[in-house]
A and B are shown apart, each in its own frame.
Chain A
């Protein structure tokens, strides 16, 4: 079934989604300006970013109504690959930094 033939969404929903996205954006700005420990800041901002992405993908792109095949290719393809890529390269990047800054 195509998305077009799915249930009709009320007009208020896009604004609720946008409102939630804006709220999260301002929360992220507040966190970025607060003097938090770096690790906590990174974790909190990443979590909020993923919440925003989930809102856009789920509500606006209607991914939660999409076929599981598309849903899992999207989530697996993008999120898992990105996380894997980052987890694999981050230690090497930090090793290079250590080598460069070592007296």
Chain B
């Protein structure tokens, strides 16, 4: 077989996957892969936390360390931001860009409120003596797990608010697409979902 014919056979056998092998554009699929790998990172953190929690007998009682009404407020705030983000995505689908931009901004502001509440919580715990390597309530590892897990989640919320601000500006300038807004929404809902895990496993159990 000639070299040209061989190349032609190879070309014919090559799977091109179509334009949408996962029923979504490549950017959306890449974002899903990011979400899954980032989720695995959080799963690792929470599994390590579970290990530490089970292996020591003097793990602090969450109800004595944290204020549950305050944490509930944080949760309500983040869940509300999920609703406004969904409304932004819907508005983008209907190509109502002003409404979309407004809802994205509202979501970002709610995200900032969540960060403010988290900063308040950290300040309070630091004032009570909580550090990465020590705390007044029990197991030494408690402070490290608390600051790393909630800090990593807070970093995601902060990144989300920056992305939301950028998206709002792009939507306002009519330079955004519905798929782009939907991707921002996917990321934000992922951040919301991770909080549900942290809230239950770290604060309630």
Contact A101 B57 (CB under 8 A): yes
Contacts of B52 in A (CB 8 A): 93
Residues of A within 8 A of B (CB-CB), count: 53
Give 1 or 0 for each of A1-40: 1 = CB within 8 Å of chain B CB. 1111000110101110110011001101100110000000
| Dominant SS among interface residues on chain A | helix
Contacts of B190 in A (CB 8 A): 61
Contact B72 A29 (CB under 8 A): yes
Contact B47 A89 (CB under 8 A): yes
CB distance from A26 to the nearest CB of B (A): 8
Contacts of B201 in A (CB 8 A): 49
CB distance from A40 to the nearest CB of B (A): 12
Residues of A that sit less than 8 Å from B by CB: 1-4, 8-9, 11, 13-15, 17-18, 21-22, 25-26, 28-29, 32-33, 41-42, 45-46, 48-49, 52-53, 56-57, 60-61, 66-67, 69-70, 73-74, 77-78, 81-82, 85-86, 89-90, 92-94, 96-97, 100-101
Q: Using A22-B79, A29-B68 as known contacts, say yes or no to A86 and B92 having CB atoms under 8 A apart.
A: no
Question: Which has the most chain A C-beta neighbours within 10 Å: B50, B55, B63, B178?
Answer: B55
Question: Which has the most chain A C-beta neighbours within 10 Å: B23, B87, B182, B192?
Answer: B23
Contact A90 B50 (CB under 8 A): yes
User: With A14-B83, A57-B193, A78-B39 given, can you name 4 additional A-B contacts, CB distance below 8 Å?
Assistant: A26-B72, A77-B40, A100-B55, A101-B57
Contact A60 B204 (CB under 8 A): no
Contact B80 A97 (CB under 8 A): no
CB distance from B107 to the nearest CB of A (A): 11
A89 to B24, CA, bound (A): 36
A32 to B62, CA, bound (A): 10
Contacts of B24 in A (CB 8 A): 1-3, 66-67, 70
A18 to B72, CA, bound (A): 14
Contacts of A1 in B (CB 8 A): 20, 23-24
Q: Does B28 contact A (CB under 8 A)?
A: yes
In-complex Cβ contact of A4 among B47, B56, B179 (8 A): B179
CB distance from A8 to the nearest CB of B (A): 6
19 of the cross-chain contacts (CB-CB < 8 Å) are A2-B24, A14-B82, A14-B87, A18-B82, A22-B79, A29-B68, A46-B200, A53-B197, A56-B82, A56-B192, A66-B23, A70-B23, A77-B40, A81-B43, A85-B43, A85-B47, A92-B55, A93-B50, A93-B55
Q: Using A4-B179, A96-B55 as known contacts, say yes or no to A61 and B186 having CB atoms under 8 A apart.
A: yes
A51 to B94, CA, bound (A): 30
A13 to B86, CA, bound (A): 9
Contact A11 B90 (CB under 8 A): yes
In-complex Cβ contact of B204 among A18, A29, A78, A81 (8 A): A29
In-complex Cβ contact of A97 among B57, B86, B179 (8 A): B57
